[in-house]
């Protein structure tokens, strides 16, 4: 089962918790044991799994990514001016795979799934592939 989920981002850099949406799709699928792959088809956004209990973690991650990949580095050559967003997307990665066991995602106690925007605001999408097995 393949699902396309649409979302709109509101900031240049943000981490949107999509855990509930992914859980809902898995529950609706009826898959008891298998895997779910969450994939981002954009070069300036990514998918990651990280802590979802304390919102300060998102702030700190985005802050540090900005420090490592500054928006206006004088040596960047990319004509669109969004080299930092490409580098951040490479760092977070384009997909995550989560095990489904007894109908539930095998996320750790504090883990959540995040769509990471690095060149917003934009209208985006991510893909969710649910596989039994």
Give the domain range for residue 109: 2-132
Q: pLDDT by residue (tens digit) across 59-109? A: 999 999 999 999 999 999 998 999 999 999 999 999 999 999 999 999 999
Query: What pLDDT sits at residue 130?
Result: 98
Task: Give CA–CA dist 117/133, Å, rounded.
Answer: 31
Which 8-state DSSP code applies to residue 22? H
- The pTM of this model reads 0.95
Q: pLDDT by residue (tens digit) across 41-68? A: 999 999 999 999 999 999 999 999 999 9
CATH, residue 20: 2.60.120.460
Domain count, the chain: 1
* pLDDT-derived band at 5, boundaries 50, 70, 90: very high
* pLDDT-derived band at 126, boundaries 50, 70, 90: very high
CA 47 to chain centre: 2
Total residues belonging to the chain: 133
Tell me if 87 sits within 8 A of 17, measured CB to CB. no
């Amino acid at each position: 089962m393949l699902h396309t989920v649409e979302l709109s981002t509101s900031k240049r850099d943000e981490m949107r918790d999509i855990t509930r949406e992914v859980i809902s799709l898995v529950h609706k699928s009826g898959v008891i044991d298998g895997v779910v792959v969450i994939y981002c088809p954009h070069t300036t956004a990514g998918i990651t799994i990280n802590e979802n209990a304390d919102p300060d973690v998102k702030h700190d991650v985005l802050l540090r990514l900005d420090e490592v990949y500054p928006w206006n580095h004088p040596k960047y050559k990319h004509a669109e001016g969004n080299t930092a967003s490409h580098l951040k997307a490479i760092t977070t990665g384009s997909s995550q795979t989560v095990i489904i066991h007894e109908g539930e995602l095998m996320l750790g106690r504090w883990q959540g799934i995040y769509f990471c925007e690095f060149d917003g605001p934009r209208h985006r999408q991510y893909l969710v592939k649910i596989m039994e097995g």
